[in-house]
Amino acid sequence: MDVDDEDLFETDGMNLTWPGKSLTSAQEYMRGHGTYVDNEEVIASVSGIVERVNKLITVRAVRTRYNPEVGDLVVGRITEVQPRRWKVDGNSRQDAVLMLSSVNLPGGVQRRKVESDELQMRSFFEEGDLLVAEVQAFFGDGTMSLHTRSLSYGKLRNGQLVTVPPILIRRLKSHFISLPCGVDLILGLNGYIWVSKHIKENEREGEEAFDAEAVYSNRNDVIDDSTRLAISRVTNLINVLASRSIPLTDTVLLDAYDWSLEQEGDVKDLLQEDAGDALVATILAKG
């Protein structure tokens, strides 16, 4: 074994690195995320891909917790109810914060916050509820501040949550995807994916009728068996793709769903090793 093998290992032009690898001289380059400076050398601290932009060297980790940016769409679960805010678990380094002033209150989108709202916070969101929100800002220590001030955000129901590594979710134009089988997907950038029964466009709440009963209700609609089967199928496909580290985009999921409809056997057979291999081979051939 060659003990002196210190060259950057290249894969298709990408430079891979590992913790402790010296990248370059600190005199010529500035260090970015994923690196540190020691003795006038820039050294990588995570394993991943080296990226260089002009004079800035960063290492993008190939596997890490979710790194939030302002404007990201995330799916989260309420962990705590505190005075005038909720704590939301968003698969990140710290729990995110959802302020009471950042949610839509029943009775109109522009309604001002009243004291009685502060006392009734659990009637909006309780511990364990799932919601979809957008990252509004950051606190000083990197904690995300979320908001649900749009009619497409808010509490989630009629579906199932799937967790995948966050790097597999790319930033898309729209994270709300409708599959042709009557299943809606919300791809949270933090790796939480919500698979649910399809809601027709005209059934969504309009501006005037912002009905608290409907929006913050905890009751699921009636879901028929074929929709349940479709939801399970999509969930299994997502789990299989995530275990093989295939990025999840709408085209990949559509292709995977079409492929799985052609297969014989139960929905649960998708989780077998050989089914997974065949699925991945099909997806890679198309991609």
Partner 1 sequence: MSSRIEILNTGGYRSDGRRQYELRTISIDLSPQGSGADGCASLTHGLTQVNVCVFGPREAKIRSQTYHDRANVNIEVAIATFSASERRKRGRGDKRILELSQTLKSTFEPVIQTSLYPRSQIDIHIQVLQQDGGLLQACINATTLALANAGIPLYDFVCAVTGGVHSTSPLLDLTLLEENDLPNVTVAVMPRSGKVTVVSMETRLHVDRFEEIFRLAGEAAKVIHVDMKKAVRDRTEQLVASMQSVGRPPTGVDIGDEY
> Where along the sequence are the contacts to partner 1 (CB under 8 A)?
1, 3, 5, 9, 11-12, 14, 16, 18-22, 34, 36, 38, 43, 45-49, 61-65, 79, 89, 93-95, 141-142, 163, 167-168, 170-173, 243-247, 249-252, 283-284, 287
CB of 134 to partner 1, least distance (A): 15
State the residue for tokens 């891909």.
49
CB of 26 to partner 1, least distance (A): 15
Nearer to partner 1 by Cβ, of 6 and 115: the residue is 6
Q: What is the SS3 string spanning the chain?
A: CCCCCCCCEEECCEEEECCCCEEEECCCCEECCCEEEECCEEEECCCEEEEEECCEEEEEECCCCCCCCCCCEEEEEEEEEECCEEEEECCCCCCEEEEHHHCCCCCCCCCCCCHHHHHCHHHHCCCCCEEEEEEEEECCCCCEEEECCCCCCEECCCEEEEECCHHHECCCCCCEEEECCCEEEEECCCCEEEEEECCCHHHCCCCCCCCHHHHCCCCCCCCCHHHHHHHHHHHHHHHHHHHCCCCECHHHHHHHHHHHHHCCCCHHHHHCHHHHHHHHHHHHHHC
- 106: Cβ–Cβ under 8 A, 6 or more apart, which residues? 210, 211, 212, 213, 215, 216
State the residue for tokens 């010529």.
28
Nearer to partner 1 by Cβ, of 43 and 105: the residue is 43
CB of 112 to partner 1, least distance (A): 31
Nearer to partner 1 by Cβ, of 90 and 154: the residue is 90
CB of 72 to partner 1, least distance (A): 11
CB of 208 to partner 1, least distance (A): 31
CB of 124 to partner 1, least distance (A): 22
Nearer to partner 1 by Cβ, of 244 and 268: the residue is 244
Nearer to partner 1 by Cβ, of 87 and 197: the residue is 87
CB of 223 to partner 1, least distance (A): 27
Nearer to partner 1 by Cβ, of 31 and 197: the residue is 31
Nearer to partner 1 by Cβ, of 99 and 223: the residue is 99
- Exposed/middle/buried for residue 189 (C-beta within 10 Å: 0-12, 13-18, 19+): buried
